[in-house]
Structure 1
Amino acid sequence: MGHDVRIEHRPRRELAVVRRRAAPPELSRVIPEACGLVWGVIRSQNVAGAGRHVAVYLDGEGDVEVGVELESPFAGHGEVVGSSTPAGLVATTTHLGPYGRLHEAHAAIREWCRDGGHTPAGLAWEVYDHWRDEWNADPSAIRTDVFYLLDPGSKPEAESPARPE
């Protein structure tokens, strides 16, 4: 699948998360477990305005925050803490397909940045669309939006390379 990478200005998004450390092969287990834990707290605390699941990759060492989007800051409860995605310039693409192929979207963004002279700032995140039953039969339709924060000095969109599908 080709990935249409583009630059956007994203607002800060409030999150409720748990912090984990996981190697790439563990993510398919760690992320769903963490999302379940966070949703349990969100429900038990009657937190309004919860949205989609999110995984924020803090560094290249396996530190990750996993949780859910919120409309307002979360004070925390147990190991579930408030966090946020940063506001700023991002390189982003939408991945349609199984989670096991998300690495393709990440590779497309990194290549696009390298080709266009953009510098990732070290923070990346995935926002998982709400699960739909039909995805059980057709995982090619699963939607995940992938974001890479860019250094503020990155080139403006007009100077970004066009990327064929």
Structure 2
Amino acid sequence: MTPQVRFHYQQATAVRRTQVIPEQLPDWVPSACAVVAEHLRHHGIASAGYPFARCHPLPDGLVEVEAGFPVAAPIADNGLVEPSTLPAGPVLAVWHTDPDQKLAETYAIAEEWMETEGATPTGDSWEVYHDLPTCDRLGTRIEIVQPITFVNA
């Protein structure tokens, strides 16, 4: 699908957070989303959207990852599930829907679009899982959301 630019409003989230090597993400993210979903259900809090994961690269090859759900209002930190936010501002959204295509190829489409259109990332991207993850897979309808700014803006 064609990349789309839109404005993203700041969004409160409920997440689990950890540091992992990138190869552990496919196993950790679905289980983290399941824990957050159970926490929200137990406390009578409705999610305000689809599950997501956001990675923050660390210098030693690890990534700090947070995974969970957007919520209508900030939650209390209970040690297992923490409050966080997704940032406000312009974003580039690119859909990954081809199960035979590697997710890295979809990220490459976003990078190519930004280079061609004169946009630069303004923070770490996140993935929104439109197929609800199960404990053994992430699904195939993944929206990559990258905060951006335009170089000549």
Q: Is TM (by shorter chain) over 0.5?
A: yes
Following TM superposition, by how much is the alpha carbon of 1:97 offset from its aligned partner in structure 2, in angstroms?
Answer: 3.0
Percent identity, aligned pairs only? 29
Question: What do the CA deviations read for 1:5-56 (whole angstroms, capped 9, x no partner)?
Answer: 1221111121100112222211110101111111121122221344311101
Cα root mean square deviation, aligned: 2.5
Distance 1:118 1:65, change over 3 A: same
Report the Cα distance in structure 2 between the residues aligned to 1:18 and 1:107, rounded to whole angstroms: 27
Whether the 8 Å contact between 1:13 and 1:86 is mirrored in structure 2 is yes
Distance 1:96 1:81, change over 3 A: same
Code of the aligned partner of 1:4 = T
Question: TM-score, length-normalised on structure 1?
Answer: 0.77
Following TM superposition, by how much is the alpha carbon of 1:144 offset from its aligned partner in structure 2, in angstroms?
Answer: 1.4
Q: Which structure: greater helix fraction?
A: 1
Report the Cα distance in structure 1 between the residues aligned to 2:48 and 2:12, rounded to whole angstroms: 10
Code of the aligned partner of 1:52 = Y
Following TM superposition, by how much is the alpha carbon of 1:116 offset from its aligned partner in structure 2, in angstroms?
Answer: 2.2
Report the Cα distance in structure 2 between the residues aligned to 1:59 and 1:13, rounded to whole angstroms: 21
Matched, 1:20 2:36: no
Structure 1: segments with no counterpart, 5+ residues: 157-165
Report the Cα distance in structure 2 between the residues aligned to 1:155 and 1:109, rounded to whole angstroms: 19
In structure 2, the residue corresponding to 1:8 is in which secondary structure? strand
The equivalent residue for 1:129 is 130
Structure 2: segments with no counterpart, 5+ residues: none
Question: TM-score, length-normalised on structure 2?
Answer: 0.82
